[in-house]
Amino acid sequence: MAGLQIHREDLAGQVTLRLEGILDGKTALQVQTSLEALRGQPVVLDFTHLREFKDSAVGVLTRSMEHSVTLRGLAAHHERMFRYFGVTTGAASSQPYYTPEDILTL
């Protein structure tokens, strides 16, 4: 299984694009084309089945993201990458490793 496979699932008026394989800058163009064809519809991009997710894909994907796109199955690193490009992932930000209060009470 080389490259990227995009599986489309329609359920209750929402489209889920489940991505399998390798997502990089080149294959992200395929996802971008799919997102543009679904413009205006609620879409879930499911990253849980990717074998590889290259950082270069994030920049390509953010060009076609709208408010109606929900991201699912991202690792913490890629959640951060999307936030750097101004795309909210819906994930709650985690608490820092330590807080100043923790240090002062020791």
Q: What is the pLDDT of residue 17?
A: 96
Bridge partners (DSSP) listed for residue 14:
11
The pLDDT tens digits along the chain (106 residues) read: 469 999 999 988 889 999 999 999 999 999 999 999 998 889 999 999 999 999 999 999 998 777 788 999 999 999 999 988 888 876 555 555 555 665 565 5
Q: What is the pLDDT of residue 89?
A: 73
Tokens 């240090």 correspond to what residue? 103
Token digits of residue 4? 């990227």
Q: Is the dihedral of CA 72, 75, 81, 83 positive or negative?
A: positive
Nearest to 5 by CA among 20, 26, 22: 20
3-state secondary structure of 76: helix
Q: What is the pTM of this model?
A: 0.78
d(CA 78, CA 13) in angstroms, rounded, equals 27
